[in-house]
Amino acid sequence: MTNRIACVLAVIICATVAGDVMLYDADHLVFLAKKLAELIEWLKFWR
């Protein structure tokens, strides 16, 4: 991955997070954080 691609991805992620916070009060971020925690627990099981 080049630096340019990494910077573009970072800008897209930051814009998405900022848009979610402004429009939906971070409701989607909480949902995604919970799902990520479940995924990590599931992956720990297979370790």
**Rg (alpha carbons) of the chain, rounded to whole number:** 14
Q: What is the pTM of this model?
A: 0.65
Looking at residue 17, its pLDDT comes to: 92
Looking at residue 18, its pLDDT comes to: 94
| CA neighbor of 15 nearest in space, from 30, 23, 31 | 23
Q: For the chain, give the secondary structure using H, E and C.
A: CCHHHHHHHHHHHHHHHHHHHHHHCCHHHHHHHHHHHHHHHHHHHCC
Sketch the domain layout of the chain as residue ranges: 3-45
pLDDT by 10s per residue, the chain, length 47: 899 999 999 999 999 999 999 998 888 899 999 999 999 999 997 77
